[in-house]
A = this chain, B = another copy of it.
């Protein structure tokens, strides 16, 4: 049998794109050889790190070998948009994935094997996008299929016929998010998606049938999927099942019957090897049984020194978007910020969708289009509007994944659903360098009558825990229009947060729109809405209008107040802020939890600079009530009157 890897790859080339009718005996042997080599490496990796998950890596290995043999995915095309993709949902099988990628030339063995789970190394504990061939960082279980569905949606919109192979563990199957993804794949007819479940019947705590029973076949069938089964260690059968799956008009799942720890006698079928690493004589036995060379153990240890191999920089794709001509709202316009978002989105979408060279804009909805104002987009570009039902966890991940695959993905939802419910999915979008546009509407107490469960008073406080997400909270319809156009062309994860009520257009002292035709949205910029010398009000979002009212009332009493607005609380330049405050008494105001929003961020800037000023930070200080927004805000203590009182109190 051929033993040289380039020769092996060449002999397996006829399997690419599933064009061969079947796997020959020789090809099956060669796939087995690839998997055997990768098994040796996976065990070596975990032993180098004294950490990691060998059991599932070994049981998934033949699946990885087969997918990488058939997928249109190579080291050369692994950034091309029309490639096939492999999403690994059970990201803890990273040794198996890295070892397989090494066999197919995506990574170098001498880098990967010794540097697994080493600080600073690309080869992290769970798969990350810094390794070529990895399309989505997972490890938090149950999310891989949502990512796969997101990629498939992008393929559909862009007219690509790529295949998405999603490999999942069996232990993760009960996660509800998986069922959500199944339904969306069915509804959209995403026949390019094929799921392979490593069905080894073992999870950390024991047999899956004892931990949490479920009927895998019934569940996938109930959601409209083809269900195939095969021996997950038989390459001929794996290939045949993949062929059968891709020939169907429906998405398919293949239950791959496997053995945990496959290939190492003392690991096979043993739950403790889910996350236990063999060492000493057991390690030698494992390597020997797999046909490896035990003398390598010491050689590889020596390589785990010096600089760890860095991962590649994950690039965001710069979208090509014509942002159009801003709409200018004047004093007489009655407009809510969500309406201004919806109008701008519709306008930009109309200009770009279908235009040559432009990035398609797609919109995801969770049964709230008419409230979140994406119904305007829906009417203009119905085929790129995806109605996903009430399934926010999947949609958050799906939109994130789609945003990395050549479309501008917009997901608009009520604040509590878009970020509170989907916080972890958004955190993983950030870790994944996605560039999703999450639009949160009805944020703050401005959700009004819907009451406490619907009050999203934490969107800044939540996303402040990420390191990449940009949050924008526009003050009025004009700024919303401009921020929306900017967002759609920004290669980053952006969260636009808008309330529910009609907002007065912010005006200059001469009565013309403050954010006029010369205004350009710049992320992080602080808007100086009114100048004044006695005190400073720093507002966020719609409270800017209340702040101006307060300043006007104070002016009548001879108190001159500077009114600042930050639409980008996470992007504020601290030095600029401190210089604008100029040591004067400061009132911060926001329709947001006062402990975690703009006021808290300003306080941290002040503290880091060692500056103390008289400060009062107004905002939400307890769960709010259910009633008219104005009334609820007044009772919470940040109406225009309350703001003016706070200034006077400090003076």
Chain A contacts to B: CB under 8 angstroms:
49, 51-52, 91, 117-121, 124-126, 128, 137-142, 171-172, 174-180, 183-184, 186-187, 203-205, 210-215, 218-219, 221-224, 365, 367-371, 387-394, 416-417, 420-421, 423-424, 427-428, 431, 448-454, 457-458, 461-462, 464-465, 467, 593, 595-596, 599-604, 606-617, 621-623, 625-628, 631-632, 635
CB-CB under 8 A from A465, the residues of chain B are: 457-458, 461-462, 593, 595-596
CB-CB under 8 A from A416, the residues of chain B are: 140, 424
Q: Which residue of B lies closest to A611 (CB)?
A: B612
Interface pair A137/B453, CB less than 8 Å apart: yes
**Pairs across A and B, CB under 8 Å, 12 listed:** A125-B451, A126-B453, A175-B176, A176-B179, A205-B368, A214-B223, A431-B453, A457-B465, A465-B595, A595-B604, A603-B606, A610-B615
Apart from A175-B180, A610-B614, what 16 extra A-B contacts exist at CB < 8 Å? Answer: A51-B448, A121-B626, A124-B626, A140-B420, A171-B367, A174-B390, A176-B176, A179-B179, A212-B367, A218-B218, A219-B223, A393-B393, A431-B453, A461-B462, A462-B465, A465-B596
Q: Which residue of B lies closest to A417 (CB)?
A: B140
Choose one: B203, B462, B595, B608; the contact of A617 (CB below 8 Å). B608
Interface pair B139/A453, CB less than 8 Å apart: yes
Q: Which residue of B lies closest to A125 (CB)?
A: B451
Choose one: B125, B210, B223, B424; the contact of A421 (CB below 8 Å). B424
Copy count, this protein chain: 2
CB-CB under 8 A from A420, the residues of chain B are: 140, 423-424, 427
In the bound assembly, the distance between CA atoms of A177 and B186 in angstroms comes to 19
Choose one: B393, B451, B464; the contact of A139 (CB below 8 Å). B451
Q: How far is the CB of A315 from chain B (nearest CB, A)?
A: 17
Interface pair A454/B125, CB less than 8 Å apart: yes
In the bound assembly, the distance between CA atoms of A461 and B463 in angstroms comes to 10
Q: Known contacts A139-B451, A449-B51, A452-B137; is A627 also within 8 Å of B423 by CB?
A: no
Interface pair A596/B175, CB less than 8 Å apart: no
Q: Which residue of B lies closest to A127 (CB)?
A: B453
In the bound assembly, the distance between CA atoms of A4 and B49 in angstroms comes to 77
Interface pair A91/B453, CB less than 8 Å apart: yes
Q: Which residue of B lies closest to A119 (CB)?
A: B627
Top 4 closest pairs, chain A to chain B, by CB = A176-B176, A212-B389, A612-B612, A119-B627
Q: Which residue of B lies closest to A394 (CB)?
A: B176
Q: Which residue of B lies closest to A181 (CB)?
A: B176
CB-CB under 8 A from A369, the residues of chain B are: 205
Interface pair B449/A117, CB less than 8 Å apart: yes
Interface centre among A52, A119, A593, A600 (most CB of B within 10 A): A119
Choose one: B393, B423, B625; the contact of A176 (CB below 8 Å). B393
CB-CB under 8 A from A213, the residues of chain B are: 183, 186-187, 224
CB-CB under 8 A from A604, the residues of chain B are: 595, 599-600, 603-604, 617
Interface pair B223/A596, CB less than 8 Å apart: no
In the bound assembly, the distance between CA atoms of A450 and B366 in angstroms comes to 33
Q: Known contacts A391-B176, A465-B462; is A124 also within 8 Å of B600 by CB?
A: no
In the bound assembly, the distance between CA atoms of A180 and B203 in angstroms comes to 17
Interface pair B606/A607, CB less than 8 Å apart: yes
Q: Known contacts A205-B367, A222-B219, A423-B424; is A610 also within 8 Å of B612 by CB?
A: yes
Interface pair A391/B121, CB less than 8 Å apart: no
Interface pair B125/A449, CB less than 8 Å apart: yes
In the bound assembly, the distance between CA atoms of A464 and B449 in angstroms comes to 24
CB-CB under 8 A from A218, the residues of chain B are: 218, 221-222
Interface pair A126/B204, CB less than 8 Å apart: no
Interface pair A608/B613, CB less than 8 Å apart: no
Q: How far is the CB of A129 from chain B (nearest CB, A)?
A: 11
CB-CB under 8 A from A595, the residues of chain B are: 464-465, 601, 604
Interface pair B603/A124, CB less than 8 Å apart: no
Q: Which residue of B lies closest to A218 (CB)?
A: B222
Interface centre among A138, A224, A602, A626 (most CB of B within 10 A): A626
In the bound assembly, the distance between CA atoms of A142 and B431 in angstroms comes to 27
Interface centre among A138, A614, A621 (most CB of B within 10 A): A614
Q: How far is the CB of A615 from chain B (nearest CB, A)?
A: 5
Interface pair B424/A626, CB less than 8 Å apart: no
Interface pair A608/B612, CB less than 8 Å apart: no
Q: Which residue of B lies closest to A600 (CB)?
A: B604
In the bound assembly, the distance between CA atoms of A137 and B368 in angstroms comes to 21
Q: Known contacts A140-B421, A424-B416, A604-B600; is A627 also within 8 Å of B453 by CB?
A: no
In the bound assembly, the distance between CA atoms of A184 and B462 in angstroms comes to 30
Q: Which residue of B lies closest to A177 (CB)?
A: B176
CB-CB under 8 A from A394, the residues of chain B are: 176
CB-CB under 8 A from A140, the residues of chain B are: 416-417, 420-421, 453-454
Q: How far is the CB of A203 from chain B (nearest CB, A)?
A: 6
Interface pair A632/B119, CB less than 8 Å apart: yes
Interface pair B417/A119, CB less than 8 Å apart: no
